[in-house]
Amino acid sequence: MIIITGCANLSPNKQPLKSNPNLPTVKEFKAYPDRNAIALFWSPIPSMSGYYIQRYDFKHKKWEAITTIKNPYKSIYVDTKLKPAHIYKYKIATFDKKGIPSLAKEVQTSTLPKLAPVIILEAKPLVKGSVKLIFRPHPNERVDEYIIQRYNDEKARWEDLDTLKPRLNVEYIDSGLKDGKIYKYRIFAKSFDGIKSLPSKTFVVSTFPKPPVVMNVTATTNLPKKIVLKFSPVNNAVYYKIYISNSPDGYFKFYKKTSSTTFVDNINKDGFIRYYKVTAVSKHNTESLLSDSPAVMGETLPKPASPIVSTNKMGNQIEFIFTSPDNRATKYLIIRKENLGFFKSNEKKFITNSNSFTDIINPKHSYEYKIYEVDKYGLISKKPAVVEVGE
């Protein structure tokens, strides 16, 4: 038996386009898959000069030549460097002394799936600054080693810790850890031919227990220039961490910490929306899970609405009647601009606690009035109501 191996980056001779239906064809063409390779078997035809083998490119929907075998006695070809759990389709044709191919024979198969993930049985704090992992021996006897990884929070990536051999060596102790810190671990199995399994489930373990999730978090929406958070206390919490985001489903970044269950966020903006999460931190520096913490929305009080203004003109007097659309007005600010002519003007401000205001005007002059609503906190309408009177 003669075996030929090859891979996708092989550059074989190109097969002629036109086949001769009268030439002998391969009768039996079979495929035997592995995880990263497929062995092709066929019955040799010594009377021919060799074989063309092609593989179908599903992405570009075309056949591509992967090898030309010039020895008609050869009967096996191994296609390597394939992806696990993928479908592959091949066809084989004989060719004569002139390189003319016969009609092709096709076969299709799938590579085997990746190795099953390692099952971690236990991850627990062992002694001060130490964590112990115990996992189940991989059932596949081709597994040669295990790769232990730990997540680096500062660099936000998984890093290899150690490699364990042989297959039955299923205990790992990670030492020299910081007290009161949460660690994440995962394990890969690797076969003797270099095939890695799917990653195990991520296991999170702390050298000390995490505090429970902070509950009953509320945030105000009716206070000027600030948002006040309140939440229920957590037993044995040393302090609380406040996280903020621009959306309830967005990334929450650390903002500030507080030892109180009331937190005042002085924002100094009107109508500003912010989302919050609160976590508890224990004396061991372990922190409740941010992902399980409920997000709450807080908002500073927006500026009052522009007032609705109607007018009554009586001779040299004009009466303004104000209506507050949001019922927040406690008084009104009136800014009068009197045009005196020759590009001269005079501006004067009035404040009234009433819903009406009367002004005496010069019929020969034109006026522009800007009326703002003012609420009990002193917030003023962002845009005024504008009234023009006169020429």
CB-CB contact of 80 with 193 (8 Å): no
Q: What is the pLDDT of residues 299-335, one digit of tens each?
A: 999 999 999 999 999 889 999 999 999 999 999 999 9
Q: What is the pLDDT of residue 128?
A: 66
Report if residue 115 sits inside a domain.
Answer: no
d(CA 260, CA 266): 16
Q: Rg for the chain (alpha carbons), in Å?
A: 39
Q: How confident is the model at residue 9 (pLDDT cuts 50, 70, 90)?
A: very low
Residue 282 shares a structural domain with residue 318? no
Q: What is the pLDDT of residue 185?
A: 95
> Within 13 A of 305's CA, how many CA atoms are on the CB side?
10
Q: Residue 56 pairs with which residues in a beta bridge? A: 63
**What does the DSSP assignment read for 104-137?**
-EEEEEEPPPPPPPP-EEEEEE-STTEEEEEEPP
Report if residue 250 sits inside a domain.
Answer: yes
d(CA 41, CA 90): 11
d(CA 227, CA 271): 11
Chosen domain end from 247, 265, 299: 299
- Tokens representing 19 are 């086949």
Chosen domain end from 65, 80, 110: 110
pLDDT at 11 over 60: no
Residue 42 shares a structural domain with residue 66? yes
- Average pLDDT of the segment spanning 240-257: 96
pLDDT at 42 over 80: yes
pLDDT at 8 over 80: no
Residue 124 shares a structural domain with residue 92? no
Residue 9 shares a structural domain with residue 106? yes
Q: What is the pLDDT of residues 95-142, one digit of tens each?
A: 999 999 999 999 999 998 888 999 999 998 887 678 999 999 999 998
Q: What is the pLDDT of residue 3?
A: 39
Tell which residue, 350, 302, 349, has the closest CA to residue 326. 302
d(CA 139, CA 197): 12
- Average pLDDT of the segment spanning 69-89: 94
Which SS3 state, helix, strand or coil, does residue 236 take? coil
CB-CB contact of 387 with 311 (8 Å): yes
The enclosing domain of 56 has a CATH number of 2.60.40.10
pLDDT at 383 over 70: yes
Residue 295 shares a structural domain with residue 330? no
Q: What is the pTM of this model?
A: 0.48
d(CA 113, CA 83): 9
Residue 195 shares a structural domain with residue 289? no
Q: What is the pLDDT of residue 2?
A: 36
Residue 85 shares a structural domain with residue 16? yes
Report if residue 339 sits inside a domain.
Answer: yes
- Tokens representing 358 are 């009367």
Report if residue 17 sits inside a domain.
Answer: yes
Report if residue 75 sits inside a domain.
Answer: yes
Question: In whole numbers, what is the pLDDT of the chain averaged over residues?
Answer: 91
Q: What is the pLDDT of residues 151-187, one digit of tens each?
A: 999 999 999 999 999 999 999 999 988 877 889 999 9
- Average pLDDT of the segment spanning 67-83: 94
Percent of the chain with pLDDT over 70: 95
Residue 236 shares a structural domain with residue 280? yes
What is the number of domains present in the chain? 4
d(CA 27, CA 106): 10
Distances from the Cα of 201 to the Cαs of 132, 135, 207, 288, in angstroms?
16, 11, 19, 21
Chosen domain end from 185, 206, 227: 206
Residue 275 shares a structural domain with residue 320? no
Tell which residue, 53, 71, 79, 66, has the closest CA to residue 2. 71
pLDDT at 391 over 70: no
- 249-288: string of b/e by CB count within 10 Å (b at 16+)? eeebeeeeeeeebebebebeebebebbbbbbbbbebebbb
What domain range includes position 269?
A: 218-299
Q: What is the pLDDT of residues 196-218, one digit of tens each?
A: 899 999 999 988 778 899 999 99
